[in-house]
Amino acid sequence: MDIVIAGAGIGGLTAALSLHTAGLRNVRVLEAVPRIRPLGAGVNLQPNAVRELAALGLAEDLADLGADLTELGYYNHLGQEIWREPRGRANGARWPQLALHRGALQTTLADSVRARLGDDAITTGTRVTGFAQLPHAGVEVGVGHRDDNRPAARIRADVLIGADGLRSAVRRVLYPQEGEPRSNGTTVWRGITRAEPFHGGRSMVVMGDGRWKAVVYPLAVRPDGDGLVPVNWAVSRAGREDPAPPDAGPGDGFPTAVAHWRCEDLRMDALVAGTDATASFPMLDRDPVPRWSFGAVTLLGDAAHAMAPMGSNATTQAVLDARSLAHALATHDDPTAALTAYDRDRRPRMNRLQLLNRAKGPEVVIDLAHQRAPHGFARGVHSVLPAERLAHIAHAYARAAGFDTASVNAPSPYRPPAPDPHTL
C-alpha cells in the first residue's frame, strides 16, 4: 500500500514510524519547509503518548530529551494555590509526563524515520497543494515547490494522510468553506529562559487573574554548571482587542502585567526579563468537523482537530492519532474501511476535547477562583472552591484526554493483533 503523509510535524513523523512498525513499508512524508529545524518552544507528552512512543522503541531517546514532570499546580496571580495534583509517575502512571522542546522531539522523530524507512522517506521543500480522489480507489496528490500553492506534479497513492497542521491544505480541499482558523482574541507570548529550578524542579505552574495567565515548566531536570535549567513559559492575555502581531517583541504590549507575579520560589520577572527570544501569537483553534476520512484521504493532528492550548495536549493527541491510524491500516484490507475505523476511534473524542479546550479545559479553575476571590483568598483559606469540585474538573478532563492513570496503565489499544493460531 502506497501511503503519502503531508507534513513532517510530530503527527506526520509519528504516523510514518507507526506505519513502518505495523509492517506498511511504502510510506513517504512530504514536508513544505526546506529543512527540518528545531522550531518552537516547549510541548508536553502526556503519559498515554509516552506509552505509544515507547511502543515504537523511543522511550530511552525521549527520556534524555526533557523533564519528567511530577506535579501540576494552579494558582491565582498572588501565587495562592487553587489546586495541585501529582502527574505522571508520581500519580501512579507507568509512563512519565515529559516536557520537552518541540524541535528536539521533531528532530528525534525525523532521525528515526530516516534511520528506519530510509534517507529518502522524508522529502523537504515539497508542499502538498491538494488532491483528487481517483474513481475506483486511491488518490492523486498535487505537490509543488515549498512556497507555491500550485501543483507542479501529481503523484498517485493508495492513502493520503493530511498531517499538515493548523492551515492544512488537505483539510482545505475537504472543507473549502472553512476559511482561517478561529481566534478568541487571546494573545500568547512565549519564550525559554535559563533560570533556577522552582518548586522542586519537576513542576508545571499555571497562574492567572482571569485575564492574564502564565504557564511555566522546566525543559530539563538537571541544572547546568551555573545551577540553571531551561524554563519554558507562555503568558497569555485574554481579550477581544486585536491580538499582537506575530513575533511582537518585548516592547509591544509584552506581558509586563505578570512581571511581578511570584509563586513560592518562582519569579516571573526573572523569566520574562531573561529571555533571549520572545514570540507572540494569536490563540487559534478550529471547529470540530463531522468527518476526517473521505475515501482514501484522512486528517491527523492539528489538521484534524487544532485546539486551544489548554491542558497540554495537542502533541499528545497527534501521537495518539498516528498510532490509531497505523493500527487501523494494518488491521483492515481495505484502506477506506481503515480510515473510517480510525475516524470512528479518534474523532468523537477529539471533537469533545476541542470544545472542552475552548471552554478552557482544566484551567477553568483559575477563572472560577478569580470570580470568587478577585483579590485573593483570606489567610488560612486553602482554596475558594470545594476540593471535590476541583478534583472532578481535573479528573474529568484527564479521562476525556485519555491520560487518567487507569487509561494510561491499560495496555495500548493499538498493539499489533496477536497472530491467529490457526495460521501458524
Question: What mask of x and - would describe binding to ligand FAD in positions 102 to 131, judged by CB under 6 A?
Answer: x------------------------xx---
Please tell me whether residue 283 binds ligand FAD under the rule CB under 6 A: no
Q: Are residues 159 and 15 in contact, defined by beta-carbon separation less than 8 angstroms?
A: no
- Determine if 314 is a binding residue for ligand FAD (CB under 6 A): yes
Q: Which of 104/390 has CB closer to ligand FAD?
A: 104
Asked whether position 318 contacts ligand FAD by CB under 6 A, the answer is: yes
Instruction: Among 3, 4, 11, 360, indicate the residue that binds ligand FAD (CB under 6 A).
Output: 11
Contact 161, 12 (CB under 8 A): yes
Phi, psi of 236 (to 5 degrees): -125, 150
Per residue, the 3-state secondary structure of 200-269, as one string, reads HHCEEEEEECCCEEEEEEECCCCCCCCCCEEEEEEEEECCCCCCCCCCCCCCCCCCHHHCCCEECCEEHH
Work out the burial of residue 232: count CB atoms within 10 Å of its CB; fewer than 13 is exposed, 13-18 middle, 19 or more buried: buried
Instruction: Name which of 122 and 369 has its Cβ closer to ligand FAD.
Output: 122
Q: Measure CA of the first residue to CA of the last residue in the chain; give whole Å.
A: 24
Task: Figure out which of the listed residues 12, 197, 243, 402 binds ligand FAD, where binding follows CB under 6 A.
Answer: 12
Q: Tell me phi and psi for residue 118, to 5 degrees.
A: 115, 155
| Interaction between residue 9 and ligand FAD (CB under 6 A) | yes
Q: How many residues bind ligand FAD (CB under 6 A)?
A: 29
Cβ-contact 353, 309 below 8 angstroms: no
In DSSP terms, which residues pair with 161 in a beta bridge?
Answer: 5, 298
Question: CA torsion sign, 222 to 227 to 230 to 234?
Answer: positive
Position 310 contacts ligand FAD (CB under 6 A): no
Q: Measured from the CB of residue 306, what is the shortest distance to ligand FAD in angstroms? A: 7
Residue 71 interacts with ligand FAD (CB under 6 A)?
Answer: no
When the beta carbons of 88 and 165 are compared against ligand FAD, the nearer one is: 165
> Is residue 144 close enough to count as binding ligand FAD by CB under 6 A?
no
Binding range to ligand FAD, per CB under 6 A, among 58-66, 290-298, 308-316, 408-416: 308-316
128 versus 330: smaller Cβ distance to ligand FAD: 128
Q: Are 13 and 109 in contact (CB under 8 A)?
A: yes
CB of 164 to ligand FAD, least distance (A): 4
> Strand 97-101 vs strand 67-69: parallel, antiparallel, or unpaired?
antiparallel
Place of cell 482554596: 383
CB of 30 to ligand FAD, least distance (A): 5
CB of 148 to ligand FAD, least distance (A): 10
Residues at the interface with ligand FAD (CB under 6 A) = 6-12, 30-33, 39-41, 43, 102, 127-128, 163-165, 169, 301-303, 309, 314-315, 318
